[in-house]
Amino acid sequence: MRTIAERASRACLPWNSVDAGKAVKFESLPQQKIDICLMCPLHAGSCDHCDGHRTVKKDRGRPRAEVDTELLREMMKLKRPNTEICAALGIGKTKLAEEKRKILEEAK
């Protein structure tokens, strides 16, 4: 039976572990290509030198709602309630407030 000291010394040595024989491979580009990409002015992913290893950031989230401003102006003239305007235009209260603010700023 092993002593506690022997167990502790064995536990501290990673090359004696069960996974010691498994090598981890890291795939990378050659250093010359990495240096070119770091100096590249096109960071949007459309660089010819980068061989397409960079990914283009895509727009995330919900797309912006299109608002019919003429219909919104008519409903504002008729003094319709906000809930009815939101339902007719298919937008939320926050977007409605933004659009109303834009219309009122244009009128000034």
- List the structure tokens of 89: 């235009």
CB-based contacts of 86: which residues, under 8 Å, 6+ apart? Answer: 92, 93, 96
pLDDT in the model for residue 5: 66
- List the structure tokens of 34: 């990495």
Alpha helices in the chain (DSSP H): 4-11, 31-39, 69-77, 82-89, 93-107
pLDDT in the model for residue 90: 92
pLDDT in the model for residue 56: 52
pTM of the model: 0.45
Under 8 Å between Cβ of 104 and 97: no
72 burial (CB, 10 Å; 0-12 / 13-18 / 19+) is buried
pLDDT in single tens digits along all 108 residues of the chain: 667 666 665 555 666 666 666 666 667 777 877 777 777 666 555 555 555 555 555 667 878 888 999 999 999 999 999 999 999 999 999 999 999 999 999 988
